[in-house]
């Protein structure tokens, strides 16, 4: 569809999207035709996911466009990571109020800076005028049958979390807090703006995981998705939850609670059979990685938390919900 942008749409696409796009041999043709043509190798399956980020809902229009684009990519790559697939292609549906050269330059820099370390190629999209919104559709691949779903967790499985939680949610709640140390604010904002999607766990997940999800809405909410899809329940060891040190510094006794409820970290939560615990730890070690075992899957539905004395409390599957 012809868009109504002031800057010539084709030169805009060439300058900001086509020219800087990473090239891949499996992109037979990408930006420039009416559709991209992509080659899926034999033995691989394709994973597709779409996420929309709307201005002043998912990000602030006042943010550096570099960060807006970077975060949009990571949010999408994280969905592919949660399936234990490797990302390869992305298309971008961009709606912008006007063709602001400076804004597009920063946006394009952030976009390509986030895509290139993963070797992801931008293969097409759409550019329209309207209120700022970014929709990315990402494609990933995994060997046949090796993808990991939310469904599949079994009673007795160990629950893992791939990194520290709570920092991004704390950054959101402290966006306007002037009394915070500048060094702390920078650390927290980096966690919010530049999350690192956990593609590095893909092969381990393909080998061992029974279920996985990325933590976008908070551990409680997202683990609850695994439980509902798998028809099981979960008990978290509250003392084992990896809470980001700055969350402890600023929230003290409420830190664990806050970190279970807060989203936006884009770490992974996954489950593995208890019998494979040592294999998981060894494989992670070999790859220079570490994950935290935080609880166990149980037959009884619902989410529970055990404190250090062993007392069990019921956890609400809180988290961010748009509706
Ligand atoms: P059409 O009118 O056939 O939909 P467009 O003018 O929208 O074609 O797009 C021309 C080419 O540029 C297409 O290959 C499309 O995939 C690509 N494209 C458009 N916008 C973007 C964008 N924001 N990022 C990447 N590719 C884009
Ligand atoms: Mg179009």
Q: What spacing in Å lies between the alpha carbon of 14 and ligand 2's midpoint?
A: 14
pLDDT at 41: 96
Q: What spacing in Å lies between the alpha carbon of 78 and ligand 2's midpoint?
A: 26
Residues 211/149, Cβ–Cβ less than 8 Å: yes
148 lines ligand 1 (CB under 6 A): no
Pocket test for ligand 1, best of 3, 13, 14 (most atoms within 8 A of CB): 13
Q: What spacing in Å lies between the alpha carbon of 5 and ligand 1's midpoint?
A: 13
Residue 13: CB partners within 8 Å, gap ≥ 6?
Answer: 31, 127
Give the number of whichever ligand sits closest to the CA of residue 34: 1
pTM exceeds 0.85: yes
Q: What spacing in Å lies between the alpha carbon of 178 and ligand 2's midpoint?
A: 43
DSSP E strand stretches across 170-311: 211-214, 233-237, 268-272, 292-298, 302-306
Residue 310: CB partners within 8 Å, gap ≥ 6?
Answer: none
pLDDT in tens, 188-210: 999 999 999 999 999 999 999 99
Least confident of 17-21, 89-93, 104-108, 111-115: 17-21
CB 281: neighbour CB atoms within 10 A?
A: 14
33 lines ligand 1 (CB under 6 A): yes
pLDDT in tens, 34-73: 999 999 999 999 999 999 999 999 999 999 999 999 999 9
Average pLDDT over residues 276-286: 98
14 lines ligand 1 (CB under 6 A): no
Atom 26 in ligand 1: which residue has the minimum CA distance?
A: 124
Of 113 and 322, more confident: 113
* Residue 54, phi then psi, degrees to nearest 5: -105, 135
> What CA–CA distances, in Å, run from 48 to 27, 99, 114?
16, 29, 18
9 lines ligand 1 (CB under 6 A): yes
Q: What spacing in Å lies between the alpha carbon of 243 and ligand 1's midpoint?
A: 43
């Amino acid at each position: 569809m012809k868009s109504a942008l002031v800057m010539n749409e084709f030169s805009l696409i060439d300058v900001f999207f086509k020219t800087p796009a990473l090239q891949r041999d499996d992109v037979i043709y990408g930006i420039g035709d009416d559709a991209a043509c992509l080659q899926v190798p034999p033995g691989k399956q394709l994973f597709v996911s779409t996420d929309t980020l709307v201005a002043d809902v998912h990000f602030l229009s006042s943010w550096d466009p570099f960060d807006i684009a970077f975060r949009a990519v990571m949010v999408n790559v994280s969905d592919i990571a949660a399936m234990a697939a490797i990302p390869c292609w992305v298309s971008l549906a961009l709606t912008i109020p006007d063709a602001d050269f400076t804004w597009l330059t920063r946006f394009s820099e952030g976009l390509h800076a986030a895509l290139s370390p993963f070797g992801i190629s931008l293969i097409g999209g759409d550019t329209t005028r309207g209120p700022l919104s970014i929709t990315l559709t990402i494609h990933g691949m995994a060997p046949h049958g090796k993808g990991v779903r939310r469904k599949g967790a079994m009673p007795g499985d160990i629950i893992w979390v791939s990194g520290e939680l709570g920092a991004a949610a704390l950054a959101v709640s402290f966006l306007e807090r002037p009394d915070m140390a500048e060094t702390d604010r920078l650390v927290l904002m980096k966690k919010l703006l530049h999350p690192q999607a956990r593609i590095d766990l893909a092969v381990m997940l393909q080998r061992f995981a029974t279920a996985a999800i990325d933590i976008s809405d908070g551990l409680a909410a997202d683990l609850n998705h695994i439980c509902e899809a798998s028809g099981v329940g979960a008990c978290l060891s509250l003392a084992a939850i990896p809470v980001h040190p700055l969350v402890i510094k600023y929230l003290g006794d409420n830190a664990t609670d806050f970190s279970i409820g807060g989203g936006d970290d884009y770490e992974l939560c996954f489950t593995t059979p208890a019998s494979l615990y040592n294999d998981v730890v060894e494989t992670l070690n070999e790859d220079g990685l570490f994950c935290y075992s935080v609880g166990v899957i149980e037959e009884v539905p619902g989410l529970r938390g055990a404190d250090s004395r062993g007392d069990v409390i019921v956890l609400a599957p809180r988290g961010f919900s748009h509706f």
